[in-house]
Copies of this chain bind each other. A is one copy, B any other.
Amino acid sequence: MEDLFVIKVGGNVIDDAAFLASFLSAFAAAPVKKVLIHGGGKIASRLGDKLGIESNYVNGRRITDGDTIDLVTMVYGGLVNKKIVAALQSKGCNAVGLTGADADIIPAIKRTVKEIDYGFVGDVQTGKMNPAFLTLLLNNGYSPVIAPLTHDGKGQMLNTNADTIASSLAIILSNHFHVRLIYCFEKKGVLQDINDEGSVIRLITKDIYAHLKNEHKLFDGILPKIDNAFAAIDSGVQEVLIGDARDLLTNITEDTRGTLIK
């Protein structure tokens, strides 16, 4: 099977124009089939502030009311997605910007209200996803660029975590490609000490992960990423890398590869 990079780029990279530009150059230059999944960064929150739409988070997830789903559909699916596409086109990468609603790539179910009503937040229906469409694009030289939006099949767009979308896509595409899932952010990898870029943990296995969690050596924000990574590996993804957005695409050596999860 051919190699495929499924690459998630985080909000802090999106928010930093210079960092984003150099990441997109590295992405465009990577001589491999590739899919990009992006967050929305703080742009949605800033625009929401101007429009009087409050940003509310519970456990790191945005509460998505009716105004907010319109806001993130505009910002993630329009502004951020198309700016990335136009930039990639200018760098010679034939990008196609999409959401999970397009071609029914990612059907989702509106999250059931339990203690918390997350609003228009979608949980991915992995079994109903459409890998055929992405495979069609990839095999014809196009690079899909996917915003963290899904839909319920009844006409409603839904907001879905970009890390989850990345791992779900990596999983369904691993039937067709030899998939490396890459979580790109502004750090060199998963750090032992969040203030020390030299403290990258080079390898996380399930045993090491259990140990690190027991010792409270990982900061909370990284835990969902690692959980998504193990879920992906358990479902056929070859390997997961977490690290700096630029190193991981053009310059993968033992020292720059960030954190390998397997």
Contact = CB atoms under 8 A, between A and B. Distances in A.
A96 interface: yes
Interface stretch (A79-87, A175-183, A240-248): A79-87
A98 B101 CA distance: 12
Contact of A90 (B82, B86, B155): B155
B73 A82 contact: yes
Interface in A117-176: 133, 136, 140, 142, 149, 151, 153-157
A103 B140 CA distance: 11
A49 B102 CA distance: 29
A259 interface: no
A41 interface: no
A79 B51 CA distance: 15
A102 B103 CA distance: 14
A79 B82 contact: no
A133 B143 CA distance: 12
B136 A87 contact: no
A75 interface: yes
A70 interface: yes
Given A96-B103, A103-B142, A142-B103, A74 B79 contact: yes
A76 interface: yes
A89 interface: yes
Contacts of A90: 153-155
A114 interface: no
Contacts of A47: 51
Contacts of A96: 98, 102-103, 133
Contacts of A77: 77-79, 81-82, 97
A104 interface: yes
Contacts of A50: 50-51
A184 interface: no
Nearest to A78: B78
Contacts of A87: 155
Residue from A90, A97, A98, A103 with most neighbouring chain B CB atoms (10 Å):
A103
16 contacts: A73-B83, A75-B78, A77-B79, A78-B78, A78-B79, A78-B81, A82-B99, A85-B99, A86-B151, A86-B155, A90-B154, A94-B103, A95-B102, A97-B101, A103-B142, A136-B136
Closest 9 CB pairs of A and B: A78-B78, A90-B155, A74-B74, A74-B78, A77-B78, A74-B79, A86-B151, A96-B102, A86-B101
